[in-house]
A and B are shown apart, each in its own frame.
Chain A
Amino acid sequence: MTEKRNWPLWEIFVRSKNGLEHRHFGSLHAADAEMALENARDVYTRRNEGVSIWVVESKHITASNPVNNGEMFEPAKDKVYRHPTFYDLPDEVKHM
């Protein structure tokens, strides 16, 4: 006898209409990818919320840890020269 396994968790991404990106809608349990797609259809698109669904088993997602947010995101904060407002131009310059 092998140890009993429960249905794994899947993350669900839905494109609400063509032209928009897939967005994370939530998660659900399913035995396999096909069932995850069918369940996602029933759980997340009962009122025409989507035209396309992606399912990814949750264990395959690598996430950053908020504890490391400092070294992860702070370096961007002092690089104001990446923003257009950093550059001083006279008001007479139009369309720039």
Chain B
Amino acid sequence: MSEKDVKNLEEIFEARIARDEKIEPKDWMPEKYRQTHIRQISQHAHSEIIGMLPEGNWITRAPSLRRKAALLAKVQDEAGHGLYLYSACETLGISRDELYEQLHSGKAKYSSIFNYPTITWADMGAIGWLVDGAAIINQVPLCNTSFGPYARAMVRVCKEESFHQRQGYEIMLTLCRGTEEQKAMAQDALNRWWWPSLMMFGPTDAESVHTEQSMKWKLKRKSNDELRQQFIDQTVPQADLLGITIPDPDLKWNEEKGQYDFGEIDWDEFWQVVKGHGPCNKERMNARVNAWNNGEWVRDAAMAYAEKNEKRKVAKAS
């Protein structure tokens, strides 16, 4: 294909997206569109899979059978969400093994929030309430993104995610209505998870390198700062209802703007964690790589069994 042909195809492609047409896997697409989508969808899938680890930590120690069943279901959902997203990503011509390899080698990233430790039961509440709350705000606009398989996966994910946030808030509510000690535990969890949750929306608009292109491809429909503001505005009243305090002395209602003003985010911390120096980066990656390596014999045995059965079937038929 000549350069002119490619340019022509690119124009047709951009026009289709501008008309809100969806792009399907076998359609022609610019290489950059493909690569950007592989990067974002796989990062999203990895986040779901790594996101199982901090919560998996509390399944055996959940305070009641009701809480245990709910947490187990939530973690299982996250495995499911990872699978929807890996499948969507594979339609772009990359194999599951390559995707895992990128995660395990550190080439691909996952959401930094999962590199923080879950040290008390209240963290299960704070994660559901704040982390899933932030994830929902990030994900809802993606249900309309231009790449069909990603949009369809996101519709399923968003439908299931709302239970996650509600079960988290219910845990917080129970703790806040409990003893002084339990309420203090909820406050402590909010103190530790608040700022990392705000960082989930990514760098400020001024610093964000991918925003412009992603907006054009409808891979992003609102900017990082807009989404972060939306999260703060909807979460502050929820903290008030719990009777606990958001750990930001600069947080106050701005009557004129009709939104909350908030304090400076510690971006050094954000970049440290992204670069692998968070409290649990090594632990998460080790757990993931070990699970994969230690499960290899099971995957091989299943394949050997399937092949043996297949051969038997062929032998019988002939």
Q: Indicate if the CB atoms of A26 and B303 lie closer than 8 Å.
A: no
A72 in contact (CB, < 8 A): no
Please give, as numbers and ranges, the residues of chain B lying within 8 Å of A29 by CB-CB distance.
96
Please give, as numbers and ranges, the residues of chain B lying within 8 Å of A63 by CB-CB distance.
26
What total count of A-B pairs have CB within 8 Å?
51
Nearest B-chain residue to A25, judged by Cβ: B156
Known A-B contacts A9-B90, A42-B80, A46-B77; the reply to A31 vs B96 at CB < 8 A is no
Please give, as numbers and ranges, the residues of chain A lying within 8 Å of B291 by CB-CB distance.
none
Please give, as numbers and ranges, the residues of chain B lying within 8 Å of A42 by CB-CB distance.
76, 80
Cα distance A43–B80 in the bound complex, in angstroms: 5
User: Which interface class (under 10, 10 to 19, 20 to 34, 35 or more) fits A?
Assistant: 20 to 34
B307 in contact (CB, < 8 A): yes
Known A-B contacts A5-B307, A46-B76; the reply to A31 vs B87 at CB < 8 A is no
Cα distance A4–B88 in the bound complex, in angstroms: 25
Q: Indicate if the CB atoms of B80 and A66 lie closer than 8 Å.
A: no
User: Which interface class (under 10, 10 to 19, 20 to 34, 35 or more) fits B?
Assistant: 20 to 34
Please give, as numbers and ranges, the residues of chain A lying within 8 Å of B310 by CB-CB distance.
32
Known A-B contacts A26-B87, A27-B87, A32-B309; the reply to A66 vs B27 at CB < 8 A is yes
Q: Mark B75-105, 1 if CB is under 8 A from A, else 0.
A: 0110010011001101000011100000000
Please give, as numbers and ranges, the residues of chain A lying within 8 Å of B303 by CB-CB distance.
5-7, 31
A51 in contact (CB, < 8 A): no
Nearest A-chain residue to B87, judged by Cβ: A27
Q: Indicate if the CB atoms of A43 and B97 lie closer than 8 Å.
A: no
A20 in contact (CB, < 8 A): no
Residues 48-96 of A at the B interface (beta carbon under 8 Å) = 63, 65-67
Known A-B contacts A26-B84, A26-B87, A28-B87; the reply to A47 vs B26 at CB < 8 A is no
Please give, as numbers and ranges, the residues of chain B lying within 8 Å of A65 by CB-CB distance.
26
Please give, as numbers and ranges, the residues of chain A lying within 8 Å of B300 by CB-CB distance.
4
How many whole Å from B26's CB to the nearest CB in chain A? 5
Known A-B contacts A6-B97, A7-B303; the reply to A28 vs B26 at CB < 8 A is no
Residues 288-318 of B at the A interface (beta carbon under 8 Å) = 299-300, 302-303, 305-307, 309-310
Please give, as numbers and ranges, the residues of chain B lying within 8 Å of A26 by CB-CB distance.
84, 87-88, 152-153
How many whole Å from B263's CB to the nearest CB in chain A? 40
B226 in contact (CB, < 8 A): no
How many whole Å from A61's CB to the nearest CB in chain B? 12
Known A-B contacts A26-B84, A26-B153; the reply to A67 vs B306 at CB < 8 A is no
How many whole Å from A35's CB to the nearest CB in chain B? 7
Q: Indicate if the CB atoms of A46 and B90 lie closer than 8 Å.
A: no
Cα distance A65–B27 in the bound complex, in angstroms: 8
How many whole Å from A59's CB to the nearest CB in chain B? 13
How many whole Å from A5's CB to the nearest CB in chain B? 6
B24 in contact (CB, < 8 A): yes
Cα distance A64–B220 in the bound complex, in angstroms: 30
Cα distance A43–B96 in the bound complex, in angstroms: 16
B248 in contact (CB, < 8 A): no
Out of B80, B96, B97, B302, which one reaches A46, CB within 8 Å? B80
Please give, as numbers and ranges, the residues of chain A lying within 8 Å of B205 by CB-CB distance.
none
Q: Indicate if the CB atoms of B96 and A32 lie closer than 8 Å.
A: no
Cα distance A31–B310 in the bound complex, in angstroms: 11
Q: Which residues of A are in contact with B by a Cβ distance under 8 Å?
A: 4-7, 9, 26-29, 31-32, 35, 42-43, 46-47, 63, 65-67
Q: List 27 A-B contacts (CB under 8 A).
A: A5-B303, A5-B307, A6-B95, A6-B96, A6-B97, A6-B303, A7-B303, A26-B84, A26-B88, A26-B153, A27-B87, A28-B83, A28-B87, A31-B299, A31-B303, A31-B306, A32-B305, A32-B306, A32-B310, A35-B302, A42-B76, A42-B80, A46-B73, A46-B76, A46-B80, A65-B26, A67-B28
